[in-house]
């Protein structure tokens, strides 16, 4: 494991606090993950009406997401488009979503344009700061059905490699990771690595427990090639 750059993560958290915010935006949250060695998609923040050439240097297909302080659940608000083949497709999606979301009275603060993660199993890694146990990490099947399936396991931090294995083995749907119905097996090692970078000794939750009250990495897309944090949310609590 590369040593986490906790200084950078702390600076991002401190800046959000200084602005009186109780959450990081997606870009900030992903920078915090990046500081702990967790793979996030290449991407950039765009203005509400970006000039042509906004996708230069990024490889399609793209994902385009709304950035709005008025919207907590982007998917439910229709603010996420996947699989955009090129900049023209992204521009069209941007215009369509922008008009619809503005019409609903939500502010459009900007857009997040990212390279789409390789197809894989949608997992979740999360964390909370519990009043009695301290930092607690969660791993399981993510995506939009997370609260329907509830196929998740918790562990009290810091977790070690044995705990991580126990958590993953306890999932009902674990066969999905091994390659279900002819799919190639997902990179379980990469999934376990993210779990340890978040919940392990010196990991994100333990290191930043004074600031981070809740964390969702959902989905963490685990493909045969690795694990990528396609979305992330970090909520700040009262300083613990």
Residue 126 binds other proteins (CB under 8 A): yes
Q: Is 57 left (phi over 0), alpha (psi -120 to 50) or beta?
A: left
Which residues does 160 contact at the CB level (< 8 Å), separation at least 6? 196, 200, 201
Work out how close the CB of 225 gets to other proteins at its nearest, in angstroms, rounded to a whole number: 25
- The answer to whether the beta carbons of residues 114 and 51 sit under 8 Å apart is no
Residue 28 CA to residue 31 CA, distance in Å, equals 5
Q: 94, 159, 222, 227: which one contacts other proteins (CB under 8 A)?
A: 159
Residue 8 binding other proteins, by CB under 8 A: no
Q: Is 97 in the site for other proteins (CB under 8 A)?
A: no
Cβ-based nearer residue to other proteins, 28 or 87: 28
Least separation, in Å, of the C-beta of 112 and other proteins? 19
For the CA atoms of 107, 112, 117, 122, the dihedral, rounded to the nearest 10 degrees, stands at -30
What are φ and ψ of residue 91, in 5° steps?
-65, -40
The correct pick among 121, 138, 177, 195 for binding other proteins (CB under 8 A) is 138
How many whole angstroms separate alpha carbon 222 and alpha carbon 240? Answer: 32
Query: Can residue 77 be called a binding residue for other proteins (CB under 8 A)?
Result: no
Q: Which position among 70, 96, 130, 178 is part of the footprint of other proteins (CB under 8 A)?
A: 130
Q: Does residue 149 bind other proteins (CB under 8 A)?
A: no
- 150 lines the binding site for other proteins (CB under 8 A): yes
121 near other proteins, judged by CB under 8 A: no
Q: Is 98 helix (H, G, I), strand (E, B) or coil?
A: helix
Q: Is 163 in the site for other proteins (CB under 8 A)?
A: yes
Do 28 and 11 touch, CB atoms closer than 8 A?
no
Q: Catalog residues that contact other proteins under the rule CB under 8 A.
A: 23, 72, 124, 126-128, 130, 132-134, 136, 138, 142, 146-147, 150, 152-156, 159, 162-163, 166, 170, 213-216, 218, 233, 235
């Amino acid at each position: 494991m590369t040593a986490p750059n906790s200084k950078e993560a702390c600076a991002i958290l401190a800046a959000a606090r200084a602005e009186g915010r109780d959450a990081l935006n997606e870009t900030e949250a992903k920078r915090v993950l990046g500081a702990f060695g967790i793979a996030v998609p290449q991407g950039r923040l765009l203005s509400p009406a970006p000039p042509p050439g906004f996708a230069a240097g990024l490889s399609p297909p793209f994902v385009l997401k709304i950035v709005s302080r008025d919207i907590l659940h982007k998917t439910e608000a229709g603010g996420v488009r996947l699989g955009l083949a090129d900049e023209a497709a992204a521009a069209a999606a941007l215009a369509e979503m922008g008009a619809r979301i503005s019409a609903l009275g939500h502010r459009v603060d900007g857009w997040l344009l990212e390279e789409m993660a390789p197809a894989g199993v949608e997992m979740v890694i999360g964390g909370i700061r519990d009043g009695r146990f301290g930092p607690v990490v969660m791993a399981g099947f993510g995506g939009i059905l997370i609260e329907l399936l509830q196929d998740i396991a918790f562990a009290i931090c810091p977790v070690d490699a044995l705990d991580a294995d126990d958590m993953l083995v306890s999932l009902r749907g674990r066969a999905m990771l091994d390659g279900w119905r002819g799919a190639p097996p997902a990179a379980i090692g990469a999934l376990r690595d993210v779990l340890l970078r978040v919940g392990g000794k010196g990991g994100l939750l333990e290191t930043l427990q004074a600031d981070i009250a809740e964390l969702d990495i959902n989905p963490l897309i685990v493909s045969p090639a690795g694990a990528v944090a396609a979305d992330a949310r970090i909520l700040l609590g009262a300083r613990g």
